[in-house]
Amino acid sequence: MVNFMMDKYIVPSFVVSLLGFLLLYILRPRTPNYKKKDPKSTQKCDSHNVISSKSEKGTDADVIIVGAGVAGAALAHTLAKEGRNVHVIERDLTEPDRIVGELLQPGGYLKLIELGIEDCVEDIDAQRVVGYALFKDGKSTNVSYPLKNFHSDVAGRSFHNGRFIQKMREKAATLPNVRLEQGTVTSLIEENGSIKGVQYKTKAGQELKAHAPLTVVCDGCFSNLRRSLCDPKVDVPSCFVGLVLELENDQLPYPNHGHVILADPSPILFYPISSTEIRCLVDVPGQKLPSLANGDMANYLKTMVAPQVPPELRDAFLSAIDKGHIKTMPNRSMPAAPYPTPGALLLGDSFNMRHPLTGGGMTVALSDIAVLRNLLMPLQDLNDADELCKYLESFYTLRKPVASTINTLAGALYKVFCASPDQARREMRDACFDYLSLGGTCSTGPVALLSGLNPNPMSLVLHFFAVAVYGVGRLLVPFPSPKKLWIGARLISAASGIIFPIIKAEGIRQMFFPTTIPAYHRAPPVKTESD
């Protein structure tokens, strides 16, 4: 019966999504989605606002990187391998302790291989992840990554975020042309509209300047430099409450899988971060959390969340609450809206964020680094500011299809997976769970998108509306009624209301038609035998 329904309704789903897409294309903005730089928004390098330096110190760096998280450390190693002299300035070089950035999708692992840093997931007790398990109303299903065409080592990896970052930093620091320094960058140095370097304060409190033809800002989600390089529109739809479950003898219900519980009011995640630890992330909608100090948070977790946790994990979950090591983290999303600026570039969470439900952040960052490396390959000398700026503007175009697909899926899935009093939204949530349970293309297609193995924007739109039409088909079988038809129409409307605003924020033309946007350089030139 289910297969019959799929055969009957998958074609209409494609028609609906294509019609919607064509309508969006016709109504698309006629100008590129890049805002012109406002001179007033950029810090001027004059006597009124420049921090007076106790000493001036020049550098012979080709690139200054602000931040040595996943993006900064990976970029430093990548560009240094290309022969660039790299100066990395990181606020705190001790091992980070975060509750996000712990799951690397298989698409991200492939980028590690492409960049030559896949060994950074070794010797940190990282765990292989081969798919996801979904739980809803006492039912469960698992969907595997489509990995059969890849080398046996290719899979997702989950780990302690801090351990991974330290390995990345250590690997970058082994290269002689990488200078890794602890310091706090306070501002960018601008001359005649171009960024020439940074002003920073060393660990010892000394105020210095560093100069380079290219400055890459990747100082994370709390970036204090992004405002001069982009138009940040940060949304905080929810917060994560993080716990670590210690399991010695028990296992996850589905070993080597990430677990997503479609709970009320929003999802709960479980995944291994070592051979004896499981990370739990409880999503709490909004920005206001129960108080940790007075015990409201512990009570909320025990009374509201614990009953929805799978029985195999419930005792460990309650034990983790009693131990009290509860951490919180706002979940931010921010579309990329750059001011193309000579001499500077944004990367990582300082530039673009999405809801961390799908664990796509590191995959986007590593993909961006691969794009940037390929763009800069032909440029022997980065001091040609005009030439460099043309290449950097191309970066914003070339990254869009991959980044926007992962961003859109993260935002759309979060909204679909959240509980809602609206019956149409509930039907969409049920349809999504059952659609993924069908197996075949209905599971491998969406999971290939989520994992970064096939970040195709059109495939995302088609599968999203296939779920919606599948939901309508479930309502109308065996006999349609006016009420069911009305709910079905509202379901399609709700689906459109979820995905189209996200696509619009990402940029319709950039996401689906990047080749229509002028780009000075789209791929490194083909080397001949005489080169």
Q: Interhelix angle for 441-450 vs 457-476, to 10°?
A: 140
Tens digits of per-residue pLDDT, 217-258? 999 999 999 998 999 999 999 999 999 999 765 578 999 999
Instruction: List b or e across 293-322, with b for residues whose CB sees 16 or more CB atoms inside 10 angstroms.
Output: eeeebbebbeeebbebbbeebeebbbebbe
Let me know how long the chain is.
531
Please report which residue ranges of 85-212 form alpha helices under DSSP H.
106-115, 161-173
pLDDT given at position 19 = 45
Query: CA angle 150-152-153, nearest 5°?
Result: 100
Is residue 433 scored above 90 in pLDDT? yes
- Token pair of 380 as six digits: 């022997």
Is residue 18 scored above 50 in pLDDT? no
- Residue 207 contacts residue 59 (beta carbons within 8 Å): no
Tell me what the mean pLDDT of segment 384-397 comes to.
Answer: 85
Tens digits of per-residue pLDDT, 271-314? 999 999 999 999 999 999 999 999 999 999 999 999 999 999 99
Distance CA(305)–CA(295), nearest Å, equals 15
Is residue 3 scored above 80 in pLDDT? no
Strands (E), 312-373: 327-333, 344-346
Is residue 46 scored above 60 in pLDDT? no
Strand 235-246 with 194-202, pairing:
unpaired
- Residue 454 contacts residue 150 (beta carbons within 8 Å): no
Tell me what the mean pLDDT of segment 190-205 comes to.
Answer: 94
CA pseudo-torsion sign 470, 474, 475, 479: positive
Among residues 464, 472, 467, which one has the least CA distance to residue 499?
464
Q: What is the mean pLDDT of the chain?
A: 87
HEC profile of 483-499: HHHHHHHHHHHHHHHHH
Region of 272 on the Ramachandran plot (φ > 0 left; ψ -120 to 50 alpha; else beta) = beta
Is residue 514 scored above 90 in pLDDT? no
Among residues 91, 163, 80, which one has the least CA distance to residue 121?
163
Is residue 52 scored above 70 in pLDDT? no
Neighbours of 96 (CB within 10 A): 18
Among residues 67, 81, 242, which one has the least CA distance to residue 169?
67
Among residues 39, 50, 73, 388, which one has the least CA distance to residue 214?
388
- Residues linked to residue 330 through DSSP beta bridges, in sequence order: 239
- Residues linked to residue 195 through DSSP beta bridges, in sequence order: 190
Q: Say if pTM beats, i.e. exceeds, 0.85.
A: yes
Phi, psi (deg, nearest 5) at residue 219:
-95, 25
Distance CA(332)–CA(345), nearest Å, equals 21
Neighbours of 154 (CB within 10 A): 18
Among residues 73, 65, 60, which one has the least CA distance to residue 89?
65
Tens digits of per-residue pLDDT, 447-489? 999 999 999 999 999 999 999 999 999 999 888 999 999 999 9
pLDDT given at position 50 = 26
Tens digits of per-residue pLDDT, 122-167? 999 999 999 999 999 999 999 999 999 999 999 999 999 999 999 9
CA 260 from centroid of its chain's CA atoms: 17
- Token pair of 244 as six digits: 């670590």
Distance CA(88)–CA(74), nearest Å, equals 11
- Residue 53 contacts residue 47 (beta carbons within 8 Å): no
CA dihedral angle for residue 509, residue 408, residue 442, residue 108, rounded to 10 degrees: 100
